[in-house]
């Protein structure tokens, strides 16, 4: 019966128990989809020699097993979805031999070990999601070889070291999420040359230094999250050039000074969180701040504005408004003396 099986799809059912161990014996199976069910056991051993497989979706089951050894090389595999299971082990260097693979999704499992540099040989990869595992070591620079890559999710692991500058060569990259790791060092300013980047999340790590001025060069960026780092210095006025930015989170850093007046140019900005810094001065008169609550502004040095919990707007003796008014008063006084 299984000799001619080409597709195994059990969506919208309530199957419980072990996955069929001989499902690949016919050698013709191309598609497997059994997401959001109660299957258990070492499913990958059943697929070890399933060289015909093109698409595998086993998300949200209760599968387990050692992903290191149990899953062989599938030269025709294009989509791999194992999210939300209990797989363990480490990623084999054999993934680099899957030259047709476009999507590799193994998030929310118990994968450990290093990211293999050989992954950079799977050059058709478009989407990688290895979030919420136990990965360690550095992000390999070979990721920069994945010229087709559009999405990279490595959130919530134990990765360390720097963000490889070579990631800036991925001209098709739209999403880079490496938050909640142990990454450190300076934020690479070269990321600003990514022409299609929409979502950049570098939060909850140990990045130091200033927010790069170059980040004002992003062309289509919609979401920027740099919260929970050790960034210092002033907010770069160049960020005002981000006309498409909708969400900005720079909270829980050591930023100081005033919010640049150039923020008035950020016409798409609808949400901002600048809490837990050392910022001062008036809030910009724009939607994101006019609609803000005290929760996204609290614990700064001296912000003022029309938000409940802040001091009312006032003229800062170090601000440009103060100097303009001072000059006007001196001019009027001088005219009166001449009269």
What is the CATH classification number for the domain harbouring 86?
A: 3.80.10.10
Report in angstroms the alpha-carbon separations of 73 from 18, 186, 214: 23, 38, 42
Residue 43 within a domain: no
Residue 232 within a domain: yes
Residue 296 has pLDDT above 50, yes or no: yes
Residue 8 within a domain: no
Residue 321 has pLDDT above 60, yes or no: no
Report in angstroms the alpha-carbon separations of 185 from 164, 189, 298, 317, 327: 11, 12, 27, 35, 44
Determine the structural domain holding residue 137 and report its residue range: 77-338
pTM above the 0.75 mark?
yes
CA distance 60 to 81: 10
Residue 265 within a domain: yes
The arithmetic mean of pLDDT across residues 287-311, rounded, is: 92
Residue 9 within a domain: no
Residues near 124 by Cβ (< 8 Å), separated by ≥ 6?
99, 100, 101, 102, 148
pLDDT tens digits, 88-106: 999 999 899 999 999 999 9
Residue 63 within a domain: no
pLDDT tens digits, 209-267: 999 999 999 999 999 999 999 999 999 999 999 999 999 999 999 999 999 999 999 99
Query: Where do the H-state alpha helices sit in 160-302?
Result: 287-290
Residue 70 within a domain: no
Residue 325 has pLDDT above 50, yes or no: no
**2: exposed, middle or buried (C-beta count within 10 Å: 0-12, 13-18, 19+)?**
middle
CA distance 108 to 313: 46
Which of 288, 296, 315 minimizes the C-alpha distance to 304?
315
CA distance 34 to 12: 9
CA distance 231 to 68: 38
**Domains: count for the chain:** 1
Residue 72 within a domain: no
């Amino acid at each position: 019966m299984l000799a001619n099986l080409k597709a195994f799809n059990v969506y919208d059912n309530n199957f419980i128990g072990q996955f069929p161990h001989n499902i690949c014996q016919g050698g013709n199976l191309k598609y497997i989809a059994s997401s959001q069910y109660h299957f258990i056991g070492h499913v990958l051993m059943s697929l070890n020699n399933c060289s015909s497989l093109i698409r595998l979706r086993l998300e949200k089951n209760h599968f387990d097993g050692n992903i290191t050894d149990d899953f062989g090389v599938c030269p025709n595999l294009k989509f791999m979805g194992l999210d939300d299971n209990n797989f363990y082990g480490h990623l084999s260097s054999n993934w680099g031999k899957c030259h047709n693979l476009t999507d590799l999704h193994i998030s929310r499992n118990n994968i450990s070990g290093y990211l293999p540099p050989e992954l950079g040989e799977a050059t058709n990869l478009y989407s990688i999601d290895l979030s919420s595992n136990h990965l360690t070591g550095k992000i390999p620079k070979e990721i920069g070889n994945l010229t087709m890559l559009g999405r990279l999710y490595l959130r919530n692991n134990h990765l360390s070291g720097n963000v490889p500058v070579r990631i800036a060569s991925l001209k098709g990259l739209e999403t880079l999420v490496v938050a909640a790791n142990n990454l450190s060092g300076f934020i690479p300013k070269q990321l600003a040359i990514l022409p299609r980047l929409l979502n950049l999340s570098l939060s909850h790590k140990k990045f130091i230094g200033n927010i790069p001025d170059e980040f004002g060069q992003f062309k289509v960026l919609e979401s920027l999250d740099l919260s929970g780092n050790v960034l210092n210095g002033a907010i770069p006025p160049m960020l005002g050039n981000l006309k498409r930015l909708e969400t900005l989170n720079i909270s829980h850093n050591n930023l100081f000074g005033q919010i640049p007046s150039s923020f008035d140019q950020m016409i798409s900005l609808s949400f901002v969180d600048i809490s837990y810094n050392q910022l001062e001065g008036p809030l910009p008169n724009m939607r994101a701040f006019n609609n803000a609550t005290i929760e996204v502004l609290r614990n700064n040095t001296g912000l003022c504005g029309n938000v409940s919990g802040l001091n009312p707007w006032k003229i800062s003796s170090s601000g440009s408004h103060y100097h303009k008014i001072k000059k006007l008063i001196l001019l009027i006084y001088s005219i009166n003396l001449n009269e």
